[in-house]
Chains A and B, each alone.
Chain A
Amino acid sequence: MDPTPRRAPGSVQVQPTVPPPPPLPVELVEEVLLRFPPDDPARLVHAALVCRRWRGLICGPSFRRRFREFHRAPPMLGFFVNNHGDTSFFIRTSATCPRLGIDSTVVDARHGRVLLLSKPLSVLRRHPLETPFVVWDPITDRRRDLPWLPVVPGSFRPYSWNAAVLCAASLGGACDHLDCHSGPFIVVLVANSNNGMISYVYSSEAGAWSEPTSALNSYCDLKLVPTALVGSGCCFFLKHLELLQVAASQVVDKHKLLSCRLLGYALMD
């Protein structure tokens, strides 16, 4: 639509030389920006470059939450592919999604964060857990290198393991995950070893791994595939139940959740 100059008060005839229209009030600009399609994030970047006020709106503390609330289901902009333990890569499913380059193996991704090994599995000559994890925010490109696990080097070589990255409020079920990507997070590591199931939890707020907790009576062979957040529990898939590789919602319906209290979260069995 061609912009037509807004009429000056009292004028009858509209001429091209009449002063241009006053800008839309800022609260209505926000309403317009909220209705941008969520699968085209570049449009919000273009809008942020219009003027400082618009950038302030888009980058402000409430806009992201309102945008997510408005569109409810977040769009899929792309996905990570694990290449048999080699360097993972990112496939964009939206033309305007950023191209993400990674140089390692992705272990998990959730709530705007990606959990990586600091080196790809294929080049590791050691046990994977003898290399630190990295938590990466792909949108801001911020990386946090996690400290080494609190184990004696060389002494912790579990048969199988898996790890998940979660918003810190996830396990209590207290977060709607609309605007938590820059907040505190935890990394839950589960491993099975000679001593049974062991878990460590890293807290970004503490900046440290917890002491290990263990479930001595449990023995589960863990599959290194993405974990599922179900209700307030984080579910890890097990090797001997192939069915567990299908959608988590189906799994929850068909299998009881075995809650390993000692581990502090649920394991599927």
Chain B
Amino acid sequence: MEVDKGKGEAEETRKVAEADRDTVTLKSSDGKLFEVSKEAAARLSTVLAGMIAGGSIDDNGTDLKQIGSEALENVVDYCNKHANSIPSAALISSSISFNTAPFKEPEEWERKFVDRLSHDALFDLVEAANFLGMERLLDVTCHKISEMMKGKSPDQIREVFNIKNDYTKEELEEIRQELAWAFYDD
């Protein structure tokens, strides 16, 4: 469904644009255009739903200046895959039942979707999902990142996430002793 349109084609899109068309066109920070089903966009993104409801969708391509083309392509790809493969029951990710965990483990296709992403692409996609208010995509991408930390020591996590250690050796040792139970399997 995603289309990287040239300018002429975008002009064509503008001509045929009607309020009742069933897709919306999104423009990445680097000017590339992507088309996505209006229904999927409204269902999966609170921000896009608000823009559609408020009539602030630009038929020439709604500017999403915070999102690069690679991340936006992945967002659109996710929306399309979601629309194609998910039964309606699985969409209820924000259960209101008190004792039911609202977080639903990623489905097989969602795992595959994030597994193929590079480290950079995954991080960019998390930011895009957060910006667009895509709760489910945020769940899936954040879950993937949390899985990347599984079984890793603080040193290894720092390495993967490029974080500088600002603790002193003594502080680390003190915390390790205080919370020794968390390090039995070291």
Check if A52 sits within 8 Å of B166, measured CB to CB. yes
Given contacts A46-B153, A49-B175, contact A3 B160 (CB under 8 A): yes
Let me know if B109 is at the binding interface, CB within 8 A. no
Known: A1-B119, A1-B148, A42-B182. A50 touches B162 (CB 8 A): no
Is B122 in the interface zone, CB < 8 Å from A?
A: yes
Q: Mark A138-151, 1 if CB is under 8 A from B, else 0.
A: 00000000000000
Interface residues of B in 74-130 (CB under 8 A from A): 98-103, 115, 117-120, 122-123, 126-127, 130
Measured CA separation A73–B98 after assembly (Å): 7
B150 within 8 A of partner (CB): yes
Residues in A neighbouring B161, C-beta threshold 8 A: 21, 23-24, 50
Given A24-B123, A31-B126: A46 touches B157 (CB 8 Å cut-off):
yes
Establish whether residues B164 and A73, one from each chain, have CB atoms under 8 Å apart when the complex forms.
no
Are B101 and A71 touching (Cβ within 8 A)? Answer: yes
- The CA-CA distance from A25 to B159 in the complex, in Å, is 16
Chain B residue with minimal CB distance to A38? B101
B127–A25 touching, CB < 8 Å: yes
**Cβ B182 vs Cβ A1 within 8 A:** no
> Does B56 interact with chain A (Cβ within 8 Å)?
no
The chain A residue with its CB closest to the CB of B158 is: A50
Question: A70 an interface residue at 8 Å Cβ cutoff?
Answer: yes
**A46 x B181 contact (CB < 8 A):** no
Residues of B in contact (CB 8 Å), total: 47
Is there an interface contact between B163 and A28, defined as CB atoms closer than 8 Å? no
A45-B182, A52-B166 given; A32·B103 CB < 8 A: no
Smallest beta-carbon distance A147→chain B, Å: 29
CA–CA, A114 to B23, complex, Å? 57
Give the nearest-CB partner of B114 in chain A: A1
B17 at the interface (CB under 8 A from A): no
User: With A4-B119, A6-B120, A35-B143 given, is the CB distance from A49 to B172 under 8 Å?
Assistant: yes
Q: Is the CB of B122 within 8 A of A1?
A: yes
A1 touches B115 (CB 8 A): yes
For the complex, what is the distance from the CA of A73 to the CA of B95, rounded to whole Å?
Answer: 12
Say yes or no: A42 contacts B127, CB within 8 Å: no
B177–chain A nearest beta-carbon distance, Å: 12
- Output the nearest chain B residue to A28 by Cβ-Cβ distance: B126
A79 near B: Cβ within 8 Å? no
List which A25-75 residues lie within 8 A (CB) of chain B.
25, 27-28, 31-36, 41-43, 45-54, 70-73
Partner pick for A22 among B101, B148, B162, CB 8 A cutoff: B162
Instruction: Kindly list chain B residues whose C-beta atoms are within 8 Å of the C-beta of A98.
Output: 181-182
A48 to B175 CA separation, bound complex (whole angstroms)? 10
User: Which B residues lie within 8 Å of A3 (CB)?
Assistant: 119, 159-160, 162
In the assembly, what is the distance between CA of A28 and CA of B179, in Å? 26
Determine whether B64 belongs to the interface, using a CB cutoff of 8 Å to chain A: no
Interchain nearest-CB distance for B12 vs A (Å) = 31
Find A70's partner among B103, B150, B182 (CB 8 Å cutoff): B103
**Contact of A20 with B by CB under 8 A:** yes
Question: Would you call A21 and B162 a contact (CB within 8 A)?
Answer: yes
Checking B103, B120, B164 against A35 with a beta-carbon cut-off of 8 angstroms, the contacting residue is B103
Q: Is the CB of A31 within 8 A of B130?
A: yes
Given contacts A7-B120, A35-B103, A49-B172, contact A43 B150 (CB under 8 A): yes
A5 to B183, CA, bound (A): 30
A251 to B82, CA, bound (A): 44
Please report the C-alpha to C-alpha distance between residue A100 and residue B158 in the assembled complex, in whole angstroms: 30
Is B153 touching A73 in the complex (CB atoms < 8 A)?
A: no
Residues of B that sit less than 8 Å from A by CB: 98-103, 115, 117-120, 122-123, 126-127, 130, 138-139, 142-143, 145-146, 148-150, 152-154, 157-167, 172, 175-176, 179, 181-183, 185
- The list of the 7 closest CB pairs from A to B, nearest first, reads A45-B182, A42-B182, A98-B181, A49-B154, A20-B162, A3-B119, A32-B142
A residues within 8 Å of B by Cβ?
Answer: 1-7, 20-25, 27-28, 31-36, 41-43, 45-54, 70-73, 96-99
Instruction: Sample 11 A-B pairs with CB under 8 A, ordered by A number.
Output: A1-B115, A2-B119, A6-B120, A32-B142, A36-B149, A43-B150, A47-B149, A47-B154, A49-B167, A51-B163, A52-B167
